[in-house]
Amino acid sequence: MNALCTLTNRHLLSHAKSLILLGLFGVVLSFAGPQARAEGSELAKEELACLSCHDKVEPGKKLENGEILSLAISTKAYVESMHKETSCEDCHSDIDAKTHGKKITPIKSKRDFTLSMRESCRACHKKNFTQYEDSVHAALIKDGSKEAPLCSDCHNPHTVRSTKTVEPITATPCANCHENIFKAYAKDVHGLARIANGKTAPLCADCHKAHNVQAASLGSGVKDACLSCHENAVDQHKDWLPNASRHFEAISCPVCHAPTAQRRVNLRLYDNVAMKQISEKAGVPQFEKRTQAADTKDLGLNERALWSLLKEFNQDGGEGKTVLRGRLEVLSGVDAHQLSEKSKAIRDCKTCHQKGAEPFQSVTLTIAGPDGRPIRHVVQQEVLTSLLATESVRGFYAIGSTRIKLLDTLLIMVMLGAVSVPIGHMTIKRLFKSVREKLAAERIAARSETDGQDSTHHRRTDDDASKNSRS
Ligand code: HEC
Ligand code: HEC
Ligand code: HEC
Ligand code: HEC
Ligand code: HEC
Ligand code: HEC
Ligand code: HEC
Ligand code: HEC
Ligand code: HEC
């Protein structure tokens, strides 16, 4: 009965697979013991043949490096997977039915086996494959990394479920390898929102993409991903932050939104002609050689060393082509995933616009590596205040120095209540706000004398709120 059923099934499958399958499925269910039959009958004879050996508890196959490769494939999980209509041989085309299972085929290691299977996804998932090939993970693999993921590290081909199902956050494949970042994320504002409300809040791939993952600090980082959900973010900051889009360009979002993070200035080597970060060419490393030569004592690059380094880089391309661009960012990957609710975000201008401000105490010079990840060299922090004075370094304008001094002056004026021109707009608004608040307070005070408790209470809540948002 069983065999007949499968046979018929196989025959019909080749004609009008799913329609008839549905019908048969019904028949099978009404006739026979539910589980075993339902499983087998959805698969073709060939698959069942493979599974007759592989759906078993077995000791596994010993590989040349001593690892054990489990050979067990669960029929149940396979039938429930998105690949239930994909034949084993579509992916395992190199299996020779005559000798398979009888003769030992040597395999070096698990990783070697995974690598040998990597092309098997290409034929049916071209789009994902092409995107993946452009990723930092693929670049790492090309460079010999044993830890970076291939398709089958993120998707088990024998059990893969629809990616549309909402799974618990722990099911994200990223968590397996970026464990510390995952732990931080799980407790931050998005992780908690994701646990509470499901897919509206981002998981790793919503900010970094799943296949075309790029180095996180490359270009403008993941800012565009943030803005794709928080569409009004620029406007929401404009209310209190002058030139918000300028700030967004120079500051990575977690710098303000992960309030306990450590921060630093990243001076990026930048191609002023092509308008992008300079990247190290694969195979001809120049950055490390040059920075080491410029900093033989390993104390960090000083003003002069940085200056001559820039000159060297400019010899490659032409005068003024290579410049430095400053960016404020957080120190570690964990820091970047500790975003908290908006009331805790940094809005005190003095955090940055003040002599000796904390974010400017740590400075690094970077070039984008061949895979996009930054290669760094420490820079002495004094450089920020001294280098800018020397106009000789054309195009080198870093955040933190002359500009900051000017801003200090502006801020002092704001604090003294003197309306200054560049940020006058905001100051006026603030002045008006306090006048408005004063008038409102007087009005309410007058009213509460006659009305009693209610409005007084109301007023108090308002007061608290405005105190919070100002601090
Ligand atoms: C969509 C492609 C695909 C299909 C379909 C597929 N496999 Fe695989 N299989 C792979 C890949 C890729 C690997 C290597 C996985 C890894 O890296 O460990 C693999 C590994 C295996 C292994 C080694 C053990 C393991 O899990 O790594 C066995 C045994 C196996 N497959 C059997 C089967 C059988 C039997 C079927 C059909 C019922 C099947 N496969 C269908 C892609 C596929
Ligand atoms: C007669 C039992 C049997 C059948 C049928 C069978 N296998 Fe295997 N398979 C084995 C054994 C035994 C091994 C371990 C071989 C070794 O140690 O080299 C194995 C190993 C494998 C491996 C690991 C890689 C390798 O080559 O060692 C894959 C993948 C695999 N089988 C897939 C399949 C697929 C796909 C089918 C159906 C087309 C299939 N097997 C049918 C017994 C079987
Ligand atoms: C012979 C064609 C074929 C091959 C080869 C193949 N797949 Fe698939 N894959 C499918 C089909 C058909 C589906 C069903 C969903 C669909 O229509 O996209 C699917 C679905 C998936 C899904 C779920 C998609 C979703 O919509 O959520 C993932 C993930 C996936 N495959 C990964 C892989 C990986 C990884 C490999 C290589 C190990 C691979 N596939 C090889 C045909 C294939
Ligand atoms: C670093 C982990 C990772 C790697 C490597 C990876 N994927 Fe995915 N893939 C995901 C995640 C996560 C999703 C869920 C979709 C999302 O959130 O964008 C996904 C979704 C998919 C989907 C369904 C959605 C779609 O875009 O069609 C397919 C098919 C797929 N992957 C195939 C592949 C193939 C083929 C490869 C190898 C070229 C691959 N994946 C490599 C993590 C990965
Ligand atoms: C809300 C968006 C968001 C989510 C969700 C997110 N990240 Fe990030 N990730 C970022 C930002 C922002 C950075 C820092 C980029 C920069 O320098 O500007 C970053 C940086 C990284 C880095 C680089 C760390 C380093 O050492 O420089 C890795 C790796 C990373 N994320 C992995 C993950 C993983 C894994 C997850 C899921 C557990 C995840 N991210 C979830 C936004 C996100
Ligand atoms: C099989 C392990 C593995 C998986 C799974 C994996 N990664 Fe990675 N990833 C790595 C390794 C190894 C590196 C390089 C070392 C590093 O930077 O942490 C890397 C690097 C990165 C980087 C670049 C780090 C930088 O400095 O900017 C990002 C971003 C990233 N991964 C995000 C993800 C996301 C998102 C996922 C899930 C969709 C994921 N990774 C899944 C192993 C993995
Ligand atoms: C200079 C520090 C700073 C930077 C840089 C910054 N933010 Fe904010 N952000 C804040 C503060 C402070 C608040 C709270 C404002 C309030 O309470 O009205 C806030 C509020 C928000 C909110 C909540 C808005 C609302 O009113 O509901 C979102 C979303 C947000 N920021 C996203 C971002 C994104 C995305 C970036 C990067 C592109 C970013 N922020 C960069 C300081 C900053
Ligand atoms: C997939 C959409 C999505 C992406 C991408 C995204 N967020 Fe969010 N974000 C949300 C959701 C949903 C919430 C929870 C909203 C709520 O609770 O009101 C949230 C909450 C926040 C909050 C807290 C707001 C508050 O009211 O306290 C901040 C700050 C924030 N996100 C910043 C960012 C930053 C920075 C990035 C990029 C690094 C980013 N978000 C990327 C969807 C997203
Ligand atoms: C997290 C650090 C940080 C905070 C907080 C911050 N700024 Fe800035 N600000 C910067 C940096 C860095 C620049 C330089 C951007 C650039 O490259 O031009 C800047 C630039 C400016 C500029 C010049 C913008 C232009 O048009 O070029 C003004 C004005 C300014 N900030 C005012 C403020 C005020 C007022 C506040 C408080 C409400 C504030 N900033 C909060 C870091 C910060």
Distance 157 CA to ligand 1 centre (A): 6
Helices 424-451 and 453-470, packing angle to 10 deg:
160
Question: Which pLDDT score is estimated for 427?
Answer: 39
Phi, psi of 367 (to 5 degrees): -125, 150
Distance 100 CA to ligand 2 centre (A): 6
Q: Inform me whether the pLDDT recorded for 334 exceeds 90.
A: yes
Residue 445 pLDDT grade (very low, low, confident, very high; cuts 50, 70, 90): low
Question: Which pLDDT score is estimated for 317?
Answer: 67
Q: Inform me whether the pLDDT recorded for 60 exceeds 60.
A: yes
Distance 186 CA to ligand 6 centre (A): 17
Question: Which pLDDT score is estimated for 385?
Answer: 67
Q: Inform me whether the pLDDT recorded for 406 exceeds 60.
A: no
Which residue among 86, 129, 152 is best mutated to probe the pocket of ligand 3, counting the most ligand atoms within 8 A of its Cβ?
86
Q: Inform me whether the pLDDT recorded for 431 exceeds 70.
A: no
Q: Inform me whether the pLDDT recorded for 303 exceeds 90.
A: no
- Show me where the domains of the chain are located: 169-208, 249-416, 424-470
Question: Which pLDDT score is estimated for 15?
Answer: 40
Lowest mean pLDDT among 80-89, 126-135, 254-263, 297-306: 297-306
Q: Is the CB of 373 under 6 A from ligand 2?
A: no
Q: Inform me whether the pLDDT recorded for 263 exceeds 60.
A: yes
Question: Which pLDDT score is estimated for 41?
Answer: 65
User: How many CA atoms within 13 Å lie on the side-chain side of 63?
Assistant: 14
Question: Which pLDDT score is estimated for 386?
Answer: 63
Q: Inform me whether the pLDDT recorded for 21 exceeds 50.
A: no
Q: Inform me whether the pLDDT recorded for 299 exceeds 60.
A: yes
Question: Which pLDDT score is estimated for 58?
Answer: 83
Q: Whose CA is nearest to atom 10 of ligand 6?
A: 148
Residue with tokens 């698990």: 110
Q: Residue 468 CA: which ligand is closest?
A: 7
Residue 270 pLDDT grade (very low, low, confident, very high; cuts 50, 70, 90): confident
Q: Is the CB of 328 under 6 A from ligand 8?
A: no
Lowest mean pLDDT among 12-16, 167-171, 182-186, 369-373: 12-16
Helices 2-31 and 34-41, packing angle to 10 deg:
120
- Of all residues in the chain, the percent with pLDDT exceeding 70 is 72
Lowest mean pLDDT among 30-44, 84-98, 160-174, 333-347: 30-44
Question: Which pLDDT score is estimated for 307?
Answer: 82
Which residue among 71, 73, 113 is best mutated to probe the pocket of ligand 2, counting the most ligand atoms within 8 A of its Cβ?
71
Q: Inform me whether the pLDDT recorded for 86 exceeds 90.
A: yes
Distance 366 CA to ligand 5 centre (A): 18
Q: Inform me whether the pLDDT recorded for 466 exceeds 80.
A: no
Question: Which pLDDT score is estimated for 305?
Answer: 87
Q: Inform me whether the pLDDT recorded for 306 exceeds 50.
A: yes
Q: Is the CB of 54 under 6 A from ligand 8?
A: no
Question: Which pLDDT score is estimated for 19?
Answer: 35
- Of all residues in the chain, the percent with pLDDT exceeding 90 is 52
When pLDDT is averaged across residues 130-140 and rounded to a whole number, the result is 97
Contact predicate 122/188, CB 8 Å:
no
Per residue in 237-251, pLDDT (tens digit) is 999 998 898 899 889
CA pair distance 380, 376, nearest whole angstrom: 13
Residue 235, judged by CB atoms within 10 A of its CB (0-12, 13-18, 19+), counts as exposed
When pLDDT is averaged across residues 423-440 and rounded to a whole number, the result is 42
Helices 424-451 and 402-416, packing angle to 10 deg:
30
Lowest mean pLDDT among 141-145, 298-302, 427-431: 427-431
Q: Whose CA is nearest to atom 12 of ligand 1?
A: 117
Index of the ligand 9 atom closest to the CA of residue 400: 12
CB environment 255-272: b (16+ within 10 A), e (fewer): bbbbeebebbbbbbbbeb
What is the four-CA torsion angle of 396, 398, 403, 407, rounded to 10 degrees? Answer: 170
Per residue in 278-296, pLDDT (tens digit) is 999 877 788 999 999 989 9
When pLDDT is averaged across residues 31-54 and rounded to a whole number, the result is 69
Per residue in 381-394, pLDDT (tens digit) is 887 766 544 433 33
Q: Is the CB of 327 under 6 A from ligand 6?
A: no
When pLDDT is averaged across residues 19-37 and rounded to a whole number, the result is 36
Output 428 or 262, whichever has higher pLDDT.
Answer: 262
CA pair distance 45, 56, nearest whole angstrom: 18
Q: Whose CA is nearest to atom 31 of ligand 6?
A: 137
Which residue among 189, 208, 227 is best mutated to probe the pocket of ligand 8, counting the most ligand atoms within 8 A of its Cβ?
189
Output 133 or 422, whichever has higher pLDDT.
Answer: 133
Q: Is the CB of 368 under 6 A from ligand 6?
A: no
CA pair distance 107, 453, nearest whole angstrom: 81
Q: List residues bridging with 397 in a β-sheet.
A: 325
Q: Chain-wide mean pLDDT for the chain?
A: 78
Q: Is the CB of 82 under 6 A from ligand 3?
A: yes
Q: Is the CB of 120 under 6 A from ligand 3?
A: yes
Question: Which pLDDT score is estimated for 444?
Answer: 53
Distance 124 CA to ligand 3 centre (A): 7
Distance 158 CA to ligand 1 centre (A): 6
Residue 213 pLDDT grade (very low, low, confident, very high; cuts 50, 70, 90): very high
Q: Inform me whether the pLDDT recorded for 254 exceeds 70.
A: yes
Q: Inform me whether the pLDDT recorded for 220 exceeds 60.
A: yes
